[in-house]
């Protein structure tokens, strides 16, 4: 009997829409094929920015993600999902290659419900997927997954366990901002509107989220002391912070190189 036949015939179905995020195509394929067998609808993303967009366009039941991702890493992905009202209570399973204790703890602080360190078996990932999906349904008042027998170890009786109930805090402040140096959208290369010198990127502010993308403002400073400026991605506008611009500066000035 193949692994897929074994999973399909001997284990309860997981169900739900699972967002799988990993830069490695082979790993994503393994997760996808195994999750489909146990009844999941799988959506894939190879980088953090694409994962964020897909999660905000249509809320997943569960996110399975690596930490080492292009564009937006897994830490930032977890933080942004936790700060958005639509995805604040979506379970997140992190499967990471770098299992140093500090990194595991950082992933948990960023919002991961469970952290596994590679290599880990697909059966273990599927078992945790079932648990997290069932807990999520319970917390939202949906159908409660029935208790199931856990496999008995050699010489031990089979015990019957009830899936635990987890309490989630749903954030209601949609436009609550936070600051990061690893934003979802890469800061552009800009020129100072006063002296045309290159602006130096400092930090980004992530705020409210639209139907598709988070609102993002980037802070820049002029290398020749003209002042501090802020770039808004949605409008592609650069504005001064304080009195950085001369009175005759026009809002239509194109800050991009």
DSSP per-residue string spanning 52-97: HHHHHHS--SEEEE-S--SSS-HHHHHHHHHHSTTTTT--EEEEES
> What would you report as the CA-atom Rg of the chain, rounded to the nearest whole angstrom?
22
Peptide bond into 119 cis (omega under 30): yes
pLDDT on residue 247: 47
Q: What is the pLDDT of residues 23-53, one digit of tens each?
A: 999 999 999 999 999 899 999 999 999 999 9
pLDDT < 50: residue spans in the chain = 1-10, 138-176, 210-211, 244-254, 257
pLDDT on residue 214: 64
Q: What is the pLDDT of residues 104-121, one digit of tens each?
A: 999 999 999 999 999 899
pLDDT on residue 4: 47
pLDDT on residue 32: 94
Supply 3's token pair. 């692994």
Q: What is the pTM of this model?
A: 0.53
3-class DSSP state of 18: strand
pLDDT on residue 23: 95
Q: Which domains does the chain have, with CATH numbers?
A: 3-142 (3.40.50.2300), 179-241 (no CATH)
């Amino acid at each position: 009997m193949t692994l897929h036949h074994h999973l399909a015939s001997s284990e309860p179905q997981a169900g739900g829409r699972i967002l799988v995020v990993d830069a490695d195509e082979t790993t994503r394929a393994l997760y996808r094929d195994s999750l489909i067998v146990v009844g999941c609808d799988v959506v894939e993303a190879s980088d953090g920015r694409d994962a964020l967009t897909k999660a905000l366009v249509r809320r997943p039941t569960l996110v399975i993600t690596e930490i080492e991702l292009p564009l937006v890493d897994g830490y930032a992905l977890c933080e942004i999902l936790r700060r958005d009202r639509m995805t604040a209570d979506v379970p997140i399973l992190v499967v990471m290659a770098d299992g140093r204790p500090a990194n595991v703890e950082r992933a948990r602080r960023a919002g991961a419900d469970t952290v596994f360190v590679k290599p880990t078996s697909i059966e273990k990932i599927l078992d945790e997927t079932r648990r997290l999906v069932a807990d999520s349904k319970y917390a939202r008042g949906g159908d409660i997954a029935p208790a199931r027998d856990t496999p008995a170890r050699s010489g031990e009786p089979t015990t019957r366990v009830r899936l635990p109930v987890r309490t989630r805090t749903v954030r209601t402040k949609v436009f609550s901002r936070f600051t990061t140096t690893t934003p979802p959208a890469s800061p552009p290369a800009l020129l100072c509107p006063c002296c045309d010198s290159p602006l130096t990127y400092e930090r980004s502010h992530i705020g409210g989220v639209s139907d598709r993308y988070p609102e993002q403002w980037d802070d820049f400073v002029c290398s020749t002391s003209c002042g501090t400026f802020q770039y808004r991605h949605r409008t592609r506008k650069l504005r001064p912070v304080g009195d950085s611009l001369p009175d005759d500066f026009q809002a239509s000035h194109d800050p991009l190189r």
